[in-house]
A = this chain, B = another copy of it.
Amino acid sequence: MSRWEPDAPGRLQLAAFELYTERGYDQTTVAEIAARAGLTERTFFRHFADKREVLFNGGDRFRATIVDHVLAVPASATTLEVVTAGIQAAGSVFPDRDTIRRRQALLHANPELQERELSKLATLATSISQALRDRGSPATTADLAAETGVAVMRIALTRWIEDPTERPWRTHVNTTMAELRQLTA
């Protein structure tokens, strides 16, 4: 019999998500999250840097997936095609629509959480830009392509979530990219 129950971070994540949705983010204290997970407040901060970070855990895997796919595209592709491929790949790590919907609703209701989300997307853009440079793109092009790519991803995500006909991720990415091309034509 081990001294502690396993997977403390996972329990904390679950407890936090539940409490944030039940009572709201501001109305939840870290002590309450820890209590529900059977832990102490101090332990929460050993696993997560702050009260928001507990909601952004898959971020690293998400970023890695996109970067990997960006690096895997044949050299013959255009920069924008490369970015598109990376964003397409992001769909493979999405959980089901409803989980994302609930998550987005949470973020939408709390400015602090939105800020953190934007911050994560910004570092994602930086990673994509770096990957593009590793492929040989000039720095300026890489930055611009990464930023617009993330913008496209955000918009496509909103549409994907709200689409009543539940068309696949791929479709919404392509549609949004097509609009981007038309915009600059």
Please give the residue numbers on chain A whose beta carbons come within 8 Å of chain B beta carbons, in ascending order.
79-80, 111, 114-116, 118-119, 122, 140-141, 143-145, 147-148, 151-152, 154-155, 159, 176, 179-181, 183-185
Inter-chain contact B143/A155, CB cutoff 8 Å: yes
Inter-chain contact A176/B80, CB cutoff 8 Å: no
A interface secondary structure, majority: helix
Copies of chain A in the complex: 2
Inter-chain contact A144/B183, CB cutoff 8 Å: yes
Measured CA separation A37–B20 after assembly (Å): 38
Query: Which residues of chain B are near A115, meaning CB under 8 Å?
Result: 115-116, 118-119
Measured CA separation A179–B185 after assembly (Å): 13
Query: Which residues of chain B are near A141, meaning CB under 8 Å?
Result: 179, 183
Inter-chain contact A140/B179, CB cutoff 8 Å: yes
Measured CA separation A183–B119 after assembly (Å): 25
